[in-house]
Structure 1
């Protein structure tokens, strides 16, 4: 084999390795950057202040992925808290405001856990009587509710701004809220 052919083979090998390395870094970089940024947080702007909810992909990866996807599309901006029961929870995430709606995406399979409990500030997926019917709706606990443990998918916890959740307009008993409060804006941050 002559030297020019050998050199051409070496150069071609180096170029192929460089191209492969470029594509490997390009694909892995966004995922690595998010991992280095920290845990995902759902930041809600309410009428009275900012609520920071740490998302829990370790408990409910499918639900957290859905919340991030919908938030990045602007789905939750302007959505009302249609069901708010004093001393229990505030529910939102329905674009119709009736409690009967959801996103255009398919429903999610339940990701129930007994590792976490329904305590004040927990955020979970709202659903119908079918355990695999969660879509976009969620609820935030005002108080502990151990009777819900293992019955609904927990996917987050309020880490700051619970005092603003407490100020969400309540309904009368279990009745829908009249002129309900809404999520002014929602975004995802990594901390």
Structure 2
């Protein structure tokens, strides 16, 4: 028997695929305390990841969530590959829900062809297939996050699934905010993420 969140995801996945063929690629709006960020989701290239993200949106999981983590030049080990990104989701606002959701099967950049360029949105993960509602947006081009890249020890990279089409100045502003040990002080409030 399917867990309820997984069953919801599967239903919305099928509905979203049908909707995409009729209207083109879906766009979503991240409503933050600093303004709105618009993202185009590549449901045609990364269907499992992009449609899972839409399922989380439609379920209201991102209501009153936040951007909570940044990687910049100064908060990473000097001997590690560098990355420049802003991470958000429900890890801090609803950790119990975040941990209860089943992981999304990993769609690598080798499969999808979506590379980690400036403005790309991607799923955070630990092991392959452990991605969920936590996501990050690239502030610079990051080839180390692609399949075979050096930023993930297993070499499988991260699952990119869309790109910012409006609002990169807001992402950069968030990226430059005060942080301690990679965590924003305080986190940036996300009122909601919604379909456009």
Q: TM-score range by the shorter chain?
A: 0.7 to 0.9
Do the aligned partners of residues 51 and 125 (structure 1) sit closer, same or farther apart at CA in structure 2, a change above 3 Å counting? same
Alignment correspondent of 2:170: 164
Alignment correspondent of 2:104: 108
| 1:78 Cα offset (Å) | 1.4
More displaced 10-residue stretch of structure 1: 171-180 or 144-153? 171-180
What TM-score, normalized to structure 2? 0.72
- Give the paired residue count: 161
Alignment correspondent of 2:146: 149
Q: CA contact under 8 A between 2:91 and 2:134: conserved in structure 1?
A: no
Aligned-partner Cα distance in 1 for 2:16–2:94? 38
Q: CA contact under 8 A between 1:86 and 1:173: conserved in structure 2?
A: no
Q: CA contact under 8 A between 2:89 and 2:135: conserved in structure 1?
A: yes
Question: Where is the strand percentage greater, Structure 1 or Structure 2?
Answer: 2
Residue of 18, 31, 41 corresponding to 1:55: 41
Unmatched 5+ residue regions in structure 1? 1-28
Unmatched 5+ residue regions in structure 2? 1-14, 74-83, 148-156
Larger Rg: 1
| 1:86 Cα offset (Å) | 3.3
Alignment correspondent of 2:153: none
RMSD: 2.7
Aligned-partner Cα distance in 2 for 1:98–1:143? 28
